[in-house]
Structure 1
Amino acid sequence: MDSIPANRRFWNQISSSYQHEHDPRIGAAPRLWGMYAIPDAHLHALGDVTGKRVLELGCGAGQWSRSLAAEGATVVGFDLSEAQLTAAAGAMGAARYPLVQGAAELLPFAAGSFDLVFCDHGGLSWAPPHLAVPQAARVLRRGGRLVFNTASPWFEACYDDTASRVTTTLHQDYFGLNSITEGRGATSYQLTYGDWIRTLRGAGLIIDDLIEPRPDPGTPNDYNRTDPPDWAHHWPAEMLWITHKP
């Protein structure tokens, strides 16, 4: 829980600049996953959401939530940062949906409230997974799905802090990736593949698939520098977990 205040301040401070830089790409089309904006139509991760009760953990300015609400889902946008939620409210448009502030570690929803809980580099990247995953599982109904995208341990282990870029050299210990110090005192979180599996299974979830999105050469990454530029075409930069609650 110690990271909640610092992470809230961090996102409140950077929200405006983050949305100014990234919103044109995030919101360019519906259902774009991750650092390389790969369409869900190529990955088939989310499925039909019509009539489903959906919770987005870490909705930011609501690009995903707006899209799913327009498709007929009953969406709740959830975020730690009031500045991010203000951005979401301002961009809501015709597809209106409720916005709730809180931490993924402490979800303020009743058990079995949602058919789908998902995030794209959201709540499960910025909250300790051993706390946030059981909360996500708790608010899912039986048969409901948890689908989330986060950075790959490969990407984190190859990140050169000095050069501020991802390279072809291992710079971090694979087994020491549990928490990652970000700017302004914030903390993000990463697990090994084995620890992700144990955390998901420990929360009572069944793992249906693990997709490692692979961008085409030349696909831009507006979030991180990589050397070579097509790094993510050769090694997995992200991992998209698809699970369900039996």
Structure 2
Amino acid sequence: MDSIPANRRLWNQISSAYQHEHDPQIGAMPRLWGMYSVPDAHLHALGDVTGKRVLELGCGAGQWSRALAAEGADVVGLDLSEAQLAAAGRAMGAGRAMGASRYALVQGAAEQLPFAAGSFDLVFCDFGGLSWAPAHLAVPQAARVLGRGGRLVFNVASPWFEACYDEAASRVTTTLRQDYFGLNTIAEDDGASSYQLTYGDWVKVLRGAGLIIDDLIEPRPELETPNGYNETDPPDWAHRWPAELLWVTHKP
């Protein structure tokens, strides 16, 4: 959990620029997954959330949370960063003025969830908490706060996408740049850390937390779909190889 203070500082620093650049894409329409904004209507990962108690890990400015609240879910958006929560609060205020559904915002870390056991029917994130917290700590916390039959659904980068990232060129290529085995902590700016696991390590962590894996979706964007976050060479990289992993699990 040593990464919590540094990650909090980083996201407080970059929140404004991040939202300025990415909010038009994230908030373009409800339920868009990942770097390529693949609609959940095509992937069928979340299902009906009407009347469900939902927790978003790493809600940012709350684009997903607001959309699910508008569908009738009782949503809590959790984020480590005060600046991100402030952005979510401003958007929430505008949404209330337009009659949108309400939801709650909570500051906290995915590694230390401040909720009682069995509090939620669905815990989810699109990158967010499970990309910026050690999975061996965050996944058991997510499982703990789920009720029986509750679902953990989350989207993260594929280990192949990370292994092909060329740091010097700041883009993803067709050349393996780092070892697949041993992927774990990734150094970010100013001492912050993100996290990446292999397929096998994700399975171990999820099963170790008592979760049942229902599906592993590898979102495949259509040709010429832009990546809103990373440059790739070739541009159709994610149409040819898996850039993201969308895990669908439940608590028995």
Shorter chain as denominator, the TM-score bin is: over 0.9
Aligned counterpart, 1:25: 25
Amino acid at match of 2:243: A
Give matches, 1:184-223, under 5 Å.
Answer: 184-223=190-229
Paired residues, number: 246
Instruction: Write the distance in 2 (CA, Å) between the matches of 1:95 and 1:177.
Output: 40
Moved over 4 A (4+): none
User: Are residues 1:112 and 2:112 paired?
Assistant: no
Any idea what the Cα deviations from partners look like across 1:49-93, whole Å, max 9, x if unmatched?
000000000000000000000000000000000100000010011
Aligned with 1:123: secondary structure?
helix
Any idea what the Cα deviations from partners look like across 1:134-191, whole Å, max 9, x if unmatched?
0000000000000000000010000011111000010011013101011121100011
Aligned counterpart, 2:69: 69
- Structure 2 gaps of 5+ residues are none
Instruction: Write the distance in 1 (CA, Å) between the matches of 2:119 and 2:228.
Output: 35
Aligned counterpart, 2:167: 161
- Structure 1 gaps of 5+ residues are none
Aligned counterpart, 1:58: 58
Give matches, 1:91-110, under 5 Å.
Answer: 91-92=91-92, 93=95, 94-110=100-116
Instruction: Write the distance in 2 (CA, Å) between the matches of 1:125 and 1:42.
Output: 23
Give matches, 1:232-243, under 5 Å.
Answer: 232-243=238-249
Please say if residues 72 and 101 of structure 2, whose CA atoms lie closer than 8 Å, have aligned partners that are also in contact: no
Aligned with 2:181: secondary structure?
helix
Aligned counterpart, 2:157: 151
Instruction: Write the distance in 2 (CA, Å) between the matches of 1:86 and 1:221.
Output: 26
**Residue among 226, 231, 234 paired with 2:232:** 226
Tell me whether 179-188 or 44-53 shows the greater mean CA deviation.
179-188
Question: Alignment RMSD, CA only?
Answer: 0.5
TM-score (norm 2): 0.97
Please say if residues 185 and 195 of structure 2, whose CA atoms lie closer than 8 Å, have aligned partners that are also in contact: yes
Question: Percent identity at matched positions?
Answer: 85
TM-score (norm 1): 0.99
Any idea what the Cα deviations from partners look like across 1:93-152, whole Å, max 9, x if unmatched?
122211000100000000000000000001000000000000000000000000000000
